[in-house]
Amino acid sequence: MRDTLLHPPRATAVDPALATALTRAAAAIARLDQALALHPLRPAFLHRAQLDAVRRQADADGQRIDPWHLAALLEGLRLRMDPGLRIVERGDIFAAARYALELHQWLAAPDFDQEGEVQLAEQALAAATPGTTPLLAAAQGMRAWLDAGGARPPIRAALIRFWTRQKLLRTPVPLTAAAALGAGTPWDSDAWVTAFLTALAGEAEGGLQLLMDLERAWFAARVAVAGRRRTSRAAAAVDILATAPLVSATSLATGLGMAVNNAAALLDAFCAAGIAVEVTHRSKRRLFGLAALAPLRKHVAPPYHPEPGRGRGRPPAIPEADLVTEPPPLPPLTPIEQRAFDYSDIEHWMAHLDQTIRQTRRMLQTLASPVIEPAPPDLQSGVAILPADVPEPGREDDHMEHRV
């Protein structure tokens, strides 16, 4: 007891980088939770946040995908492909899309087998370092799960449930610190926990910015439809478009209690005014969203239409003999070979060409000049000027008189 009072134990030193990352992550998560509390755009936010989370996870796993590709696949739309891509490159895009779809299923709606693995991952997080803060417990539990050979998708899905169970978030925001599992991240305990908290803070800050962008697009659309008559349902339609990721004319008509044709006309008017955008490139079963979803339209391929006049089946094979190909270019000539050509006839044919041009010009001038009637003969002199005696322009010296 006396030694304890005279020499009290020193406090364990805290890594400054770890403390800074922990403070930043806690503050970012708290701000995001406060902004999402009872927010009307939570469904649209969660949809976009899941797309961003899947993109980050696929990038960390070596399967980079465009988030708009994933959005198009979730809606059952065809991807727009660059016609210059090779078959191997197209296969890589579809492989990344399948992988991203599987990651999205783990986060949004896991099946029976996936749900069992997620629950095992939840138990691993709950048993990690009891008595510590939830953020540090999540980092250490995730690291222990991966060291034991666990897969990444279950522990990521378990993290989302862990945040809500620990009262850090009231909304299941997909914060999974995907960048902490990227290539080049150190696996040392303290360094990796710092990287985990840093990635978590970056995702929370990005989520808050995403919510602000959605709000800005919503407010801009409300301003664009302001000033209409009191019975107009344009403002309510804008609210539905801002809340739901994509809306069809049928779903909008159901939400507003109006006819489908009227809802379709309202959506077409929004597209013409730049408030909304149609992302499906088709005339039936169209899907609409606010103008912020314009990038999705660029990644959706239009429906296939056959070529006019073409029948069913594959096009006929054209024999190689019928294909018109350009002749190969002639090989370059050396200076000696260039001098070997005989150019003596060129001057002769150039002079012949000049003479032909002069004769053609003279004939055109004659045809363009007015026709002069022959003058009556002079009774006293008996002289008459015939049409052939009319001088040509510029040829006054050649004038001749013919006496009758």
CA distance 63 to 216: 32
> Structural domain boundaries of the chain?
16-215, 233-298, 358-369+381-404
pLDDT digits (tens, 9 = 90+) for 285-307: 788 888 877 666 665 656 555 56
Mean predicted confidence (pLDDT) in 9-13: 51
Percentage, residues of the chain above pLDDT 70? 76
Residue 236's closest CA among 212, 262, 210?
262
Q: Which residue has the tokens 């995908």?
A: 65
- What are the φ and ψ backbone dihedral angles of 150, each rounded to 5 degrees? -70, 155
The answer to whether 242 and 223 are in contact (CB under 8 A) is no
The answer to whether 56 and 231 are in contact (CB under 8 A) is no
Mean predicted confidence (pLDDT) in 26-55: 93
Residue 209 tokens, joined: 């910015």
In degrees, rounded to 5, the angle at the alpha carbon of residue 5 between the alpha carbons of residues 2 and 10 is: 130
pLDDT digits (tens, 9 = 90+) for 208-221: 999 999 999 999 99
pLDDT digits (tens, 9 = 90+) for 99-156: 988 999 999 999 999 999 999 999 999 887 677 889 999 999 999 999 999 999 999 9
pLDDT of residue 374: 58
Mean predicted confidence (pLDDT) in 183-204: 93
Residues in the chain, overall count: 404
- What are the φ and ψ backbone dihedral angles of 332, each rounded to 5 degrees? -65, 150
pLDDT digits (tens, 9 = 90+) for 156-181: 999 999 999 999 999 999 999 999 99
Question: Is the pLDDT reported for residue 375 higher than 80?
Answer: no
Neighbours of 356 (CB within 10 A): 10
pLDDT digits (tens, 9 = 90+) for 221-247: 999 988 888 788 899 999 998 888 788
CA distance 86 to 294: 27
- Give 13's contacts (C-beta < 8 A, 6+ positions apart): none
* DSSP reduced 3-state for 300: strand
In degrees, rounded to 5, the angle at the alpha carbon of residue 296 between the alpha carbons of residues 290 and 301 is: 130
pLDDT of residue 77: 73
- CATH topology for 233-298 is Arc Repressor Mutant, subunit A (1.10.10)
Percentage, residues of the chain above pLDDT 90? 37
pLDDT digits (tens, 9 = 90+) for 324-369: 667 777 777 777 776 666 666 777 888 888 888 888 888 888 877 7
Range of weakest confidence among 29-38, 113-122, 271-280, 361-370: 361-370
The answer to whether 235 and 225 are in contact (CB under 8 A) is yes
